[in-house]
Amino acid sequence: MRDMSRKLVLLMTLTLVLIYILSIAVKIQRVEASGTIYIRPNGDVDPSTAPIKRDGNSYTLTNNIYDEIVIMRSNVIIDGNGFTLEVSGTGFQLPDVSNVTIKKTGIKASDYAIHLKSASNNTISGNFLTHYQKGIYLTYSSNYNKINENSLSANLGTAVSLTDNSKHNIISGNNITDNKFGITLHFVSNNTISRNNIINNEETGIYLYSSSNNTIFGNYISTHWKGIHFMDFCSNNIVYENTITNNMYGIYLWQSSNNKFYHNSFVDNTHHVLFSSSRYKNLWDDSFPSGGNYWSDYKERYPNATEIDDSGIWNTPYVIDEYNQDNYPLIPEFPSFLILPLFMIITLPAVIVYKTKHQTRNKKREV
């Protein structure tokens, strides 16, 4: 009887342990890919079992997802909520939609992470994209989109790519590192690339092919074979206030002319500028007194140059080739943002000494 009781207790114990283990396994079970998820034009999530919670026009991921997501409804917000979309193929597809926001999503995709096709006035913000052939891909006249404050790192592939006459897009405040190409523009115009950190991409930081009337400003572009590359008849682009440093070629121009470069800092590039042919002329300053660019090798090349009347501009042009020169090269200014920290560093010890002496005197008086 005792043996029977012991066996029964043992059997019940093993059963409870098995149930517990199975319950844990269910909790940690990966949500496997089951097919493409759609946000339909009427707002429905299809299939309804997808781990996406809908609240009006807001859609929030509630788990990692291993299926492609096609957004067919305009005027919606997709909040990744810190979860990851990991797919073999394209992560998010936005065909012919507008006013869609995708935010706070980790995306891994073997093809495109986010593909906008004839899609306008959308916002892609605060996402973490890795392992893609193209991170954010705009095609077929996708216009007036904002791509900001994303982190894009692929090891292979292109972080942001615009093509097929996509216009008036803003690419701003992104961290773009360790891709093959950072940002590429093919046959597009009137786009703005601003205030991005574009670092250590294998080939090129910013690449323009037959693209004109774009604006590139305020970017930090470092450690590439080519920092900025203009290819095949790029013209009327404006490039200003960028820091272009530690690249093999800071600016590489191939059959491109009538572009304007000013207020950039060219620092420690092996070659600041290289042309396919010197007959293609570009503008390298913003006239006097606005000035041209800062060149880190300027004093080596022109040791006898002097400043023009306290203007912050050297009196000797920086010659790039016989057709291209910066007529008003800039003298580096002391960065104003360092003034307050340095003032505090200098004055803080004196303040501490003063307070220490003052406290000591007070203690002596109390005694």
SS (H, E, C) the chain: CHHHHHHHHHHHHHHHHHHHHHHHHHHHCCCCCCCCEEECCCCCEECCCCCEEEECCEEEECCCECCCEEECCCCCEEECCCCEEEECCCCEEEECCECCEEECCEEEECCEEEEEECCECCEEECCEEECCCEEEEEECCCCCCEEECCEEECCCCEEEEECCCCECCEEECCEEECCCEEEEEECCECCEEECCEEECCCCEEEEEECCECCEEECCEEECCCEEEEEECCCCCCEEECCEEECCCEEEEEECCCCCEEECCEEECCCEEEEECCCCCCCECCCCCCCCCCEECCHHHHCCCCCECCCCCEECCCEEEECCEEECCCECCCCCHHHHHHHHHHHHHHHHHHHHHHHHHHHHHHHC
State in words which class domain 37-341 has.
mainly beta
Q: What percent of the chain has pLDDT over 70?
A: 81
In the predicted structure, residue 3 carries a pLDDT above the cut 70: no
365, pLDDT greater than 60: no
Per-residue model confidence (pLDDT) at position 354: 37
pLDDT at 15: 41
**Stretch 314-326: mean pLDDT:** 95
Average pLDDT, whole number, for the chain?
86
What's the pLDDT tens digit per position in 263-304? 999 999 999 999 987 678 999 999 999 999 999 999 999 999
- Please tell me the predicted confidence (pLDDT) of residue 366: 43
Q: What residue segments make up the domains of the chain, in order of their start?
A: 1-30, 37-341
pTM: 0.82
Residue with the bigger pLDDT between 34 and 133: it is 133
